[in-house]
Chains A and B, each alone.
Chain A
């Protein structure tokens, strides 16, 4: 009987997984009346609840953009905070519609899910105490390093120290908070994660100025939202919400000038805002989908500046996340 119970339990787990693979995510979202978005557990700049409990951040704004495009209301989103370790299974099983949780696009992940676009180009770095007088990651031989388990960070760390013939001790925690707490209490000399996260975590430390982020970037971390395999329409929608924000920035359309832009004679702007053509309808949305996104959430520059850029506490410069026209690598295909 024990075995039968075990089998049943296991099979029940499988059954839940099996429920997920239906291809009609857009219809499900519309019927439900809200989007369910998997986000981080409190990473300033990307996804964290503010003092009133409202979620903000670069990833959160992508979710808001999707909701705005579908419902014309950016607040019709339910957020599911997920740890790095447990982020993929809810997407796989259909508990969330999209995972926007500063997740690195890698081949092995892309083989199982669809990454829609890169909404932040990042790289892995190291943070240490200034008192250690370390100036380069190559001086970290023998150090104890705190990291979050279930991340590409953990793997890059192994590669980097192996490649440079250095010894290290890794202590891997399940959540970002535990990792930072252990670093702060002196359990490890080094905290490693994506540089954008290091800036965010640094803000949370009691004496932020006692810590320094080392110059080395040891990996490529293209962060972006991802969806399940098998629903091409939904894949297109999530992908093009990001592209719409980029195209809006490129054409100078912001949440402030959107009403004037609607009167524009420029064909590109008229196509973007749905005055000409039916581009939104082609991916299952409405003609004015971009108007909805930009009016409620803003273009990419506004979103970046508000959450992680110079308009935010993080104060990260745009760097390679500038538009391709300004020397960066953010580039969106045209709407036509």
Chain B
């Protein structure tokens, strides 16, 4: 950081005139290495293009002879089948193009949430593996060795069939979660402990007053109440946005003050208070324009509310735990790459282990961590296509599966699917490279 203070030495004037005295020997054109290399490259390129052209022409002719059309017109045709997780409105009468969007969003959903959670879990485990605590370090090591050495498909099926579908009850016996079930349990516990019955009744009364549980867990998924946005709800959203912006500004100010005076400021707590408090206050002031729609069990399933399907949960858990094992190793390698002197110096300054990691070790380790971390992000995104094994309606299952089977436009669909995965990967790499460029600016002192 302090290189700028050194005086810059002017360029040496002697070295610039040292060459160019003897003319190069005359060589025939075909012996000129530059010409030769260019020639071979052009030949390879021409052969490649000719092959590709021949393939395309041949395939088109043969497909046409068999009666297969080509082109992207099929995207406008009616799909006719249902999908059980759609982030945008969808019905059977919508087009294949809409199915593509639904699948793409489902892929991005599981990949996006998966990347965030896998990063958090991976950092925790990677740091835990280097912990001086013997048990913590061994547990983290055991986790990594167990998880990364089992096939991902097996893990997905395990979470789906053995855990979610195997252990959870049917919708009619759903496990209720939320405040009411906790109070009801408290009432039960009070009786069990032999405390006065009046106390238990008080707990029970409170539970009854609150009403039915807010959340339900069953083998049909997790059912949550759905927020209903009434009149004035846009102010609450605006308050949330304002709180986030204020927190960012606060963070910048706190950093500047710390750099200038060395006094820290608890940005985390203040930001939490802002982001939770401000929208909540707005909600109360405006008389709760956002209400919750409670799910109700009717017939086979719950009606109303939002449902997180078990396929999504199983795929997410499997992807997060699997990728986290690899990220943990990346993080461990990154931390081990930092010279011991750094942590010794931090200890000499009296920093605790948490502060040392946060302020000194991890920021430097990021330079080593980020490039392989990008690989893990790309892997997670591509691995999400394994959800096809448990019926998760992602891009691969819906578009390269069902739509391909129904339209037989294999070449177009595979080309689109390839292009989309490529695009997602390139964008991820681009963002990570930008971030990487930022971490590179950090210089050891």
Q: Chain A's nearest CB lies how many Å from the CB of B415?
A: 6
Q: How far apart sit A157 and B53, CA to CA, in the bound complex (Å)? A: 43
Q: Which residue of A lies closest to B298 (CB)?
A: A142
Chain A positions 1 through 39: 1 when the CB is less than 8 Å from some CB of chain B, otherwise 0: 000101110111111011011000000000000000000
A interface, how many residues as a size bin?
35 or more
- Bound Cα distance from A127 to B254, whole angstroms: 64
| Complex contact B68–A178 (CB within 8 A) | no
From DSSP, what is the main secondary structure of chain B's interface residues?
A: helix
Given contacts A18-B62, A178-B389, contact A185 B83 (CB under 8 A): no
Alpha-carbon distance A174/B414, docked complex (angstroms): 17
- The docked-state distance in angstroms from the alpha carbon of A21 to that of B310 is 43
Residues of B within 8 A of A162 (CB): 92
Binds B, one of A164-172, A195-203, A212-220: A164-172
Check if A142 sits within 8 Å of B300, measured CB to CB: yes
- Distance in angstroms from B424 CB to nearest chain A CB is 15
Would you call B80 an interface residue if the criterion is a C-beta within 8 Å of the partner chain's C-beta atoms?
A: yes
Q: Is B184 an interface residue (CB 8 A)?
A: no
Which of A112, A173, A186, A189 is the one whose CB lies under 8 Å from B67? Answer: A112
Would you give the shortest CB distance from B422 to chain A, in whole angstroms? 8
Inter-chain contact total with CB atoms closer than 8 Å? 156
**In the bound complex, do residue A92 and residue B391 qualify as a contact, i.e. CB atoms below 8 Å apart?**
no
Let me know if A172 and B402 touch, CB within 8 A: yes
A100 to B67, CA, bound (A): 21
Q: Is the CB of A185 within 8 A of B166?
A: yes
Q: Mark A177-209, 1 if CB is under 8 A from B, else 0.
A: 010011001110100000000000000000000
Interface size grouping (class) on chain B: 35 or more
Residue B52 lies at the interface, judged by CB distance under 8 Å to chain A: yes
Known contacts A142-B301, A150-B405: does B84 contact A17 (CB below 8 Å)? no
Q: Is A104 an interface residue (CB 8 A)?
A: no
A149, A171, A228: which contacts B311 (Cβ < 8 A)?
A: A171
Assess whether B84 is in contact with A171, with CB atoms less than 8 Å apart.
yes
Most buried by B among A8, A11, A111: A11
In angstroms, Cα B406 to Cα A132, docked, is 33
Contacts of A142 in B (CB 8 A): 298-301, 303
Q: Is A155 an interface residue (CB 8 A)?
A: yes
* CB-CB under 8 A for A172 and B66, given A158-B82, A159-B80: no
**Nearest 5 CB-CB pairings of A with B:** A14-B59, A11-B55, A150-B405, A185-B165, A158-B92
- 5 intermolecular pairs with C-beta atoms under 8 Å apart: A92-B408, A144-B220, A162-B92, A173-B391, A228-B66
Q: For the A-B complex with A142-B298, A169-B301 known, give 15 more contacts whose Cβ atoms are closer than 8 Å.
A: A8-B48, A10-B414, A11-B53, A18-B61, A18-B62, A85-B402, A111-B67, A132-B300, A142-B299, A142-B301, A155-B80, A169-B220, A171-B309, A173-B390, A178-B389
